[in-house]
Structure 1
C-alpha cells in the first residue's frame, strides 16, 4: 500500500439546501418568463435577474438555456423539481391499480388535466425551441418517444381488462390516447376555446370510453 491519504469528501447540508433553493428559484423564474414571452424572447440574463442570482450561479445550479428547459419539462411531468419515472407518479400508480378500463381512463384523464396545467406552456416553448436548437430538438424527440412507449404500455394495460374493442390494435389505441393527451390539444381547447380544465377532463374520459371500449 502506498500510504496515500485520499481527501475526504465534504458534504454540507446547508450548502445542499442553498443549492436546492437556487435551483428552484431559477426554474420558477424560467417557467414564468417562458409562459409570458416564449422561448425566443426569454434570455439567460432575464432568467437570472428574475431569480435574483448571477448568470454564473444559474449555470452552476441548472445549466444553460436548453438544460433549464429540460429541467422544466421534467419538473412539469413529475410535479416536483426533480425527475420522477412515469411508473412512480401517483396518478399512474392509481391507474395501474384500477381493475376497470373505464375507471382507468377516467383516472388517466384526470391525471392529464392536472399535468397539462403545468406542462402545456413549457411544452409549447420546447416545441418552438426545437425548431432552432439542436439540444431542444433532441429533447423533443426523446419526450415524444417516451410518450409513445408509455401509451403502448397503457394500451396493453387496458387490453388486460378485457374491455377494449377487439377490432382496435394496441397501436391504434395508443395513437388515439397519445394525440389527445398532447399539450397542443389542451392549448386548442382550454387556452383558445376557453374550456375549463374540468370540461377538458370530462371530454377526454367520455371520448376515450366511447371510442376505445366495448359497449356494456
Structure 2
C-alpha cells in the first residue's frame, strides 16, 4: 500500500533547503570578499605605507564599498593587525605560536640541530610574508599609538617565544655551557627578525635558500657546544 505524502514536511523541506543553500553561498561570498579585502590591504600598505593608505583606497582596490571593509575586517588598524597575524601563522586564520606546525615539529625533534633546521625553514618562509609588512609597522609605530602598541606586543611575544625555544634547545644537552638561556634566546631573537631578513634578502639580494642555510650554520656555531 502506497504511503501518504506528508505535505507539511515536504513544504517545510522545500522552504528550508534553499535557505540553507543561500546561507552557505552568502558565507562563501563574504569569505571571498574578506580575502580580497586583505589582499588589497596588503598591496596598499606595502606600496604606500600605513599613513597614506585609507579604508577607501583599500575598498577601491578590492572593488567593494568602504562599509564592507569595516563590516568584514574592521578599522584600518584592525585590518593591519589581521594581516600581521596571518603572515605570522601562514594560514587564513591566526594561530598561536606554540600551536603552529613548525613549533610542534621542533618540540618533537630529538637534536638541537634538527630543531634549529626546522626553525630556520619556518622563519625563512614566515619572513617572506611578514618582513614587508613589519617594516611598515616599524615606521608607522613612531607616529601611531595603536601601531606602537601592536609593535610592542609582537616584539614582547617574540622575546617570550625565543626564551621557550632556548629552553627547548637546552633539553638536548647540546647548548653551550657559557650561554645563559636569556643570551641564547637573544641571539635567536636578533637573527629571526624582519630587519635581519630584509637587510640580507631584500636589500643585499641573498637567495632565500642561502639565507636559510646561513641561519642554520650561524645558530649551530653560536649556540651549540
TM-score, with length taken from structure 1: 0.91
Q: Which residue of 2 aligns with 1:121?
A: 132
- Which has more helix, going by share of residues? 2
Equivalent of 1:80 in 91, 94, 102? 91
Shift of residue 13, structure 1, vs aligned partner: 2.7
SS at match of 1:63: coil
In 1, the alpha carbon distance for the partners of 2:40 and 2:92 equals: 13
For structure 1, the residue ranges without an aligned partner over 5 or more in a row are 1-9
Question: Match for residue 34 of structure 2?
Answer: 23
Q: In structure 2, the residue corresponding to 1:47 is in which secondary structure?
A: helix
Larger mean CA deviation between 31-40 and 168-177 belongs to 31-40
1:7 corresponds in structure 2 to none
For residues 125-146 of structure 1, the C-alpha deviation after alignment (integer angstroms, 9 at most, x for no partner) is 1112211111111111111111
Alignment partner of 1:56: what SS?
A: helix
Q: Alignment partner for residue 208 of structure 1, among 173, 197, 219?
A: 219
Q: Deviations over 1:18-68 (max 9, x none)?
A: 222121111100111222222222222111101111111101111111001
For 1:189, the equivalent position in structure 2 comes to: 200
Does 1:157 find its partner at 2:171? no
Q: What are the superposed Cα offsets for residues 67-103 of structure 1, whole Å, 9 maximum, x if unpaired?
A: 0110000000111221111122111111111010011
Indicate conservation of the 8 Å contact 1:71/1:81, yes or no. Answer: no
| Corresponding residue pairs, total | 205
Q: Which of 18, 24, 27 does residue 13 from structure 1 map onto? A: 24
Q: Do residues 171 (structure 1) and 171 (structure 2) align?
A: no
> Aligned-residue CA RMSD in angstroms?
1.4
Q: Which runs of 4+ in 1 moved over 6 A?
A: none
